[in-house]
Amino acid sequence: MEPEAFEICPYDPHHRVPLSRFQYHLASCRRKNPKKAKKMAICKYNARHVVPIKKLEEHEAVCVNRSSVEEEDTENPLKLVCENDTKESAREISPQKILRPGQ
């Protein structure tokens, strides 16, 4: 069995976390270090990439996950539809007649 890889926590460099627990650790460590967390930003391509705010733009320009996310966006563009929107458009197409007593 191959030993698991470790990642160094961006909030506390003394923390070496197994890759399988890293996302959970980031969330808890962010809450425990609010001053440090205010100076850090999360990469929009991979939530495991936490970098200083000043370096975020530079990181995202060369992020290894950038190309895979951009390819997915062009292959399968998402169309989000709210359930209420579809109900309203159905009403516009076929408005219901309001029945009143005596009609």
Position 89 pLDDT exceeds 80: no
The tokens for 45 are 């391509």
Residue the block writes with tokens 């809450």: 31
Q: Is 102 left (phi over 0), alpha (psi -120 to 50) or beta?
A: left
Predicted pLDDT at 11: 95
Q: Taking all residues of the chain, what is their mean pLDDT, rounded to a whole number? A: 81
β-pair partners for 50: 42
Higher-confidence residue of 78 and 67: namely 67
pTM to 2 decimal places: 0.61
- Kind plus residue range of the DSSP H or E element containing 83: helix 83-93
- Closest by CA to 3, choosing from 14, 16, 12, 11, is 16
User: Given pLDDT bands bounded at 50, 70 and 90, which one contains residue 71?
Assistant: low
CB 91 within 8 A of CB 81: no
- For residue 40, what pLDDT is reported? 97
